[in-house]
Amino acid sequence: MTVSRLARVLRRRAAAGIPVLCAVAVLAACQNEPAPPPEPEASFDEAAWREEVEAWHAERIERLRSEDGWLSLVGLHWLPEGDSRLGSEPMADVVLPPSAPATVGTLTRQGQTVSLDLAPGVEATAGGEPLPGGPLASDAGDAGPTVVQIDGLRLQVLDRDGRMALRVKDAASPTRQEFTGIERYPVDPAWRVVGRLEPYETPKQIEVDDVTGGKQQGTVPGALVVELGGETHRLEPLGEGDALFLIFADETNGDGTYGAGRYLYTELPGPDGRVVVDFNRAYNPPCAFTPYATCPLPPPQNRLPVAVTAGEKDYHGPGAHPAGTRE
Least confident of 27-36, 192-201, 315-324: 27-36
- Pick from 173, 168, 143: which is nearest to 157 by CA? 168
Q: How many angstroms from the chain centroid is the CA of residue 194?
A: 24
Q: Which residues of 207-219 are buried (b: 16+ CB within 10 A; e: fewer)?
A: ebbbbbebebbbb
pLDDT, average across residues 108-129: 96
User: Using an 8 Å Cβ cutoff, are 145 and 271 in contact?
Assistant: no
- Predicted confidence at residue 3, as pLDDT, reads 55
Residue 1 has pLDDT above 80, yes or no: no
Top pLDDT among 307 and 36 is at 307
Q: In the structure, what pLDDT confidence band is assigned to residue 296 with cuts at 50, 70 and 90?
A: very high
Which H or E element spans position 49?
Answer: helix 46-65
pLDDT one-digit tens code per residue, 89-98: 999 999 999 9
pTM (predicted TM-score) = 0.83
Identity of the amino acid at 67: E
Q: What local confidence, expressed as pLDDT, does residue 42 receive?
A: 57
- Asked if residues 95 and 116 have their Cβ atoms less than 8 Å apart, the reply is no
pLDDT at 161: 86
In tens, the pLDDT along 197-222 reads 999 999 999 999 999 888 888 999 99
Residue by residue, DSSP assigns 194-226 as EEEEEEEEEEEEEEEEBTTS-EEEEEEEEEEEE
Q: What is the Cα–Cα distance from 16 to 265, expressed in whole angstroms?
A: 10
What's the order of all strands across the beta sheet hosting 94-95?
94-95, 82-87, 105-110, 113-118, 133-136
- The predicted structure's pLDDT at residue 271: 87
Query: What is the pLDDT, as a whole number, of residue 2?
Result: 52
Q: What pLDDT sits at residue 241?
A: 83
pLDDT of residue 270: 86
In this prediction, residues 121-128 reach a mean pLDDT of 95
Query: Cα dist. 258→166, 195, 284, 311, 323 in Å?
Result: 26, 24, 7, 11, 7
C-alpha span between 325 and 189 (Å, rounded): 34
Task: Phi first, then psi: give them for residue 109, nearest 5 degrees.
Answer: -105, 130
Average pLDDT in the chain: 87
183 pLDDT above the threshold of 60: yes
Query: Mean pLDDT over residues 177-199, rounded?
Result: 96
DSSP 105: E
pLDDT of 12 reads 45
What pLDDT is attached to residue 9? 44
* pLDDT attached to residue 319: 86
Q: Alpha-carbon distance 100 to 26, whole Å?
A: 47
96/325: higher pLDDT: 96
Checking if the pLDDT of 11 tops 60, the result is no
pLDDT the model gives residue 327: 34
